[in-house]
Structures are given as C-alpha cells and as structure tokens.
Amino acid sequence: MDLYKVIEKYIDYLIKGSNPNQPLWNIELQKQGKDNRWNYIDGCFTSSLLSLYEATQDKKYLDFVDSFADYYVQDDGTIKGYDPLHYSTDDLSQSRILFNLYKYTQKEKYLYAIHHTYTQIEGHPRIDIGNFWHKAIYHDQVWLDGLYMMQVFYLNFENEFNFKKNYTDIINQFRNVRKIMFNEQDKLYYHCYDHSKTLFWADKKTGLSKHYWLRAIGWLTAAFADCAALMEDENYKLELASYLKECIDGLLTYQDKESKLFYNLVKLKDLEGNYTETSGSLLVAYAMMKAYNQNLLDISYYEKGKEIFDSIVSNRLVVENDQVTLKGIVLVSGLGPESNPRRDGSIEYYLSEPIVDNDAKGVGPLIMAYTEIITKEKHSK
C-alpha cells in the first residue's frame, strides 16, 4: 500500500484548498469564471469521498461532504443552483450523495432534497421507447454518461422510498442502450444516439454518433457496476453484470499493452494525435474492481483493474515540489447542440478538446478505484 500514500496526501490537498463555491477539482468552473452550482463534477468528487468514508470510517471525509452539501441544500429541501425543470441528467447526478448524507447525519433537509430531486425523474422528457433524454437542450438523445448520471439516483430512490416499483423501467433503459448503441462487431458502445435521426452529428439511418469515446464508455461501466450492486432483484443484478462483463471484455481487446490504459478514441489506437486517457481508464478500473468486490465478476477482472490503477498512480499521479497532480484528463467531449456545430463527433473534434490536470472527472474515479482496493484489503484480512 506504500505506493498509495500519495493518494491520501492528494485528497487532503484538494479538501483543504476547496470550498463549495471554488472547488479545486472543478476545472470547467475555473475556466468559465462563473459561480458554482449543483453539478455532476462536484458530485463525482463528493460521492467518491463518501465511498472512502464508508471504507475507512475516517470522519473527515464525511464532514467535508456534509459541509459542502449543507451550503447548497436549504431547509425545505430545495437546492441552490438546481432546478428539476431544467431537465439535465448531469444536474441530477450530484443528488446521489444525499442518500448517504441523510443516512449518516439524519438531517431532514437531505431527505427533503431527495424527494425534491425525484420530481425531475417524474417529469424528465423521454424518447418513445422509454429512455431519458440526456438534457432538455439535447432533445431526443441518449448519451452513455446519462445512465450513470440518472440511474444510480433513480435506483437508490426505488430501493429506499418506492418499493422497487420502477425496476422494470430502469432495466429497460439499460436494455435499450445495449440493443441500440452496442456494436456487435467491434464490441464497443457508441457515445450518443439521436432517436429523431435529425441531428447534424448523427447517422441518418441509425441515429448513432461516429466514434467510441472512452470516458462515455467508462461512465457506462460504472453505471453497470453501481446499479448491479444496488439492484435487489437477482435476475436484474445478473443481467447488469453480464452487460458489464461484455463491455469490459470488448474494451480489453483495445487496451494499450504497455501502459495498460485505454485510448481516448478507443478503437483508433494507431491514430496520430490519439492518446491514452486517465479518467476513462480509471472508471473502467473502478468498475472491474467493484464488480469483483460485489461478487459480480471473478478475480481476474479485479487484477486487470488494479493493473490499470497502479499504472496511473505510477505514471500520471505526479509529485513535483511537494505538489501532487493527476495528469492526462480530457476536460469534456460532447455532441451539439444545434447551436454548437464545432461539436460534430468527428475525430478532429474529439482530439481538439483540452487535456487538463486535477479535474474531478479523473480525481473522483481515482478515489473510487482506491476505495475498492481498500475494501478488498479489508476483506482479505
């Protein structure tokens, strides 16, 4: 575990240097120069800290997340900077932390905020086969990352408050993505799907985007693993585990043998300008290790996930002048909307997005994966 001491130092640095309005890990916010709000980037970091608290029982992690959320969540359960009627899967994602915050603090406002967030689930627009739109501004579209953003909260709510009534809806959304967005030949998932088949980036026959983007697939693997762990119907649990195994097995055929990481454009490893990417590789490593710890996949997957994680800790988690930095994180990639033709799903577009340090879309998965290592170590003793 000595290799990992730098991780705890890194987490302490990020916690001590951040507040709810100016978190060190939200690079998009820093670039935009705007006030912060409830968002999936902060959600990625804070949810990873809650997992670390559960694994270590170190209360400083819980206290930090409680303080962070307390700033946003009002006594009546409304959340500063969050509007359910904005209909964004990304906005909803941070609310997944509310379940554990309520469990550990018993603050009623967190319970109210859970129910406030659920009103978005009830009204969120869908395509006609049932899947949530990614956002209102991305009409008729299903993005892989949206499954992570929405379904984990949705499934938690069903387990805690709704007697599992909507399990079928949840599993059907996964089934639709597997049916439509998985390429049987390449064994990879496309980034996005336009059900209307009208968007400028979409194939006019299939509605699919052109390429396989690593972090989107990484979010999907995390959604499979997290939802399988939460799912209390054994058949649905096994179904999600089978989707995860299929997805991981496909990805592993494109893995870079030397670094153990995956390429930003997964299939195009020989493409000039393509690169192995940190955040997506960490999400995959996390999903593999969590799946073993949850008895969903065998230990060979844990071992392969740990290889990816160890490579990143050795080569991408850099210490310079006593400062720790996580490198090699693509800031963002998306498609459209109509007002943004630059985001056209082309190779040139994906390779044009900036590569940054210390963004929570990489740091969160680093902590998530680290937590799975701690969990296994505890179970092995």
Domain interval for residue 204: 2-380
Residues 6+ apart with CB under 8 A from 308: 260, 261, 281, 282, 284, 285, 288
Residues 6+ apart with CB under 8 A from 241: 224, 228, 291, 296, 297
Q: What is the Cα–Cα distance from 307 to 90, expressed in whole angstroms?
A: 30
CATH of the domain at 147: 1.50.10.10
Give pLDDT, residue 380: 85
Q: Is 245 exposed, middle or buried (0-12, 13-18, 19+ CB in 10 A)?
A: middle
Q: What is the Cα–Cα distance from 116 to 239, expressed in whole angstroms?
A: 30
Residues 6+ apart with CB under 8 A from 190: 144, 181, 183, 208, 209, 210, 211, 212
Q: Is 141 exposed, middle or buried (0-12, 13-18, 19+ CB in 10 A)?
A: buried
Give pLDDT, residue 242: 98
Torsion sign over Cα 342, 345, 349, 354: positive
- The answer to whether residues 123 and 85 touch, using CB atoms and an 8 Å cutoff, is yes
Residues 6+ apart with CB under 8 A from 4: 313, 370, 373
Phi, psi of 232 (to 5 degrees): -100, 0
In one-letter notation, the amino acid at residue 24 is L
CA atoms within 13 A on the CB side of 164: 8
Give pLDDT, residue 260: 98
pTM over 0.75: yes
Q: What is the Cα–Cα distance from 108 to 114, expressed in whole angstroms?
A: 10
Give pLDDT, residue 181: 99
Those residues of the chain that have pLDDT short of 50 are 1
Give pLDDT, residue 22: 96
> How many CB atoms are closer than 10 A to CB 252?
14
Give pLDDT, residue 305: 98
Q: What is the Cα–Cα distance from 55 to 72, expressed in whole angstroms?
A: 26
Count how many domains the chain has: 1
Give pLDDT, residue 3: 77
